[in-house]
Structure 1
Amino acid sequence: MNYHDHPQERNLTLQKEFVLLDFADVPHLQWFLFGLFLIIYIIILLSNGTIFLLTKIDPALQSPMYFFLANFSFLEIWYVSVTLPRMLMNLATQRRRISLVACATQMCFFFILGTTECLLLAVMAYDRYVAICNPLHYPMVMNHRVCIQLVAGAWLSGMPFQIGQTYQIFSLPFCGSNLVNHFFCDIPPILKLGCGDTFINEILEFTITVLFVLLPFLLILGSYSKIISTILKLPSATSRSKAFSTCSSHLMVVVLFYGSATTAYLRPKTGQPEGTDKVLSLFYTILTPMFNPVIYSLRNKDVIVALRKLLCK
């Protein structure tokens, strides 16, 4: 339990804004980091935007797999846009203040989109499972209506939980320090500033993490255990190679995203070096969305062909 309601803090003025410290501990690198993250942001927008465009205009990419990939690329654009523009502004202006309303809004959207990403990765794993383990039933099982329902479920399922969690967190009184040792309004550093008992909030955070991070991850592992078992039974080496190539890109994205996110939110919070959360957060908030289009495009012949067609036109 975190008890911050000490007698000496009760008479302090309640905070109306926070200060995001982001990378204030390395002042000599501020402009270098600004340039680096600006380039990364542009790469993310262009690469994910290109994949989204290709899946919409190329006839060869009109399948359930690319329908999910289009949604995933669209999601990644919004996912990074919740945190990166604010961080760039802070690095450029050195004005790191953020109001409670803006902080709550950022947190809510970030976790809604993060929940969507977890569920969408699970949906993509299910799509590969049906395609490889039940190829004859694939067109019937993964019809257009089912695909839309799965995507809608991924986008909408986490909304009430994350809105409720954000409301619960920002119902706490915040007094004393208003310094957030992070580059966005993440749950753990915000809870540290609460003046009351945050035990309920921590239980809620853990429960939602298990439901929307750990459970989809276990479903993905279950899908891939069946997929790998089926692939190993294929008679020809060519068939096995082709099947592995269609799944390996998605599996790499899953490992990158889930590995960093699970470590950040489910690891013990005590005894960790200062700044560990920020480093881990960089992986699943910025680096993974940057690598995803590269992983999918460079390892996918259909996407490369579609890109060549677009460039030739």
Structure 2
Amino acid sequence: MAAEPGREPATAEQVEAAWQDTKLAQVLYHDWESGSYDEKWSISFDQRCTDYARDRFTAVAGVPPRPYGRSLEIGAGTGFFTLNLMLAGLIEHGTVTDISAGMVEVALANAGRLGLDVEGQVVDAERLPFPDDSFDLVVGHAVIHHLPDVASAFAEIARVLRPGGRVVICGEPTRVGHRVARRLSSLTWSATRALTRLRPLRSWARPEAELDESSRAAALEAVVDLHTFDPDELAATVRAAGLVGVRTHTDELTAAWFGWPVRTVEAALTEERLGFRWRMFAYRSWLTLDRVDRRLSAVVPPGWYYNVSVTAFTHR
């Protein structure tokens, strides 16, 4: 079933079948996205993304950084979280898994280029094929909102963690944050498409074939994005799996209000027109707003932020 990374978009017939089978949708969507995923989300394995991954991990874990011997990532995609945490010195040996063979292939290729000690396997996060007490750490980034049965996934995580092992899941959408981001993205898309239909700006628009593929991907996104979360309810789900010391952390308020329209513009316009100066403007603006959001956390309800992360550990 798995396609070669990024080679072919899903056909209309496959999309139709995927409406009735969310796990088929996950495979089709993420296999197709695997070849362009890093570019789409500005993923890299340098100081920028290494700092981001480390900061998100430590913000929710609330412990001084220390290396974990064996780590498992569920829904690893192209390896963003695990590989950057390894570069930050928090993981010694990583296992990356995903339901998409294309994503696993790209993650292993990224690890190879970086010279990192990583294994990869195509895995359903709700049925982990690993023995009990196998890992010191389980991580995930923007993954559990794709899982049909989140409770089963956390039960599996608890099973494969060693006594005293930790789970850290970051970057999941909150209910309020997701609703605001979708509205902003929709408005930005409409405005950008209207502007690029004007004669002076037509050359700024991506080719129609690329936009058609984006529309098909958006259709599949409606099938693969299954959940948004309330921080307290997510914590209760993790506790029900038998994990202890549960803690949540939220981030990105104004940074998300800025970031999602920026990503939408980047999807609509050509890379050549945007260029390096645009990328630096977007990145520096996001950093400034992220600092503002941290200060606002003293007065803004956690559920208003876009991202929620959760951590817990097993009984010793």
More strand by share: 2
Larger Rg belongs to: 1
* TM-score, normalization by structure 1: 0.27
Give the number of the structure with larger relative contact order, counting CA–CA contacts within 8 Å between residues 6 or more apart.
1
Structure with a larger share of its residues in helix = 1
Q: TM-score, normalised by structure 2?
A: 0.27
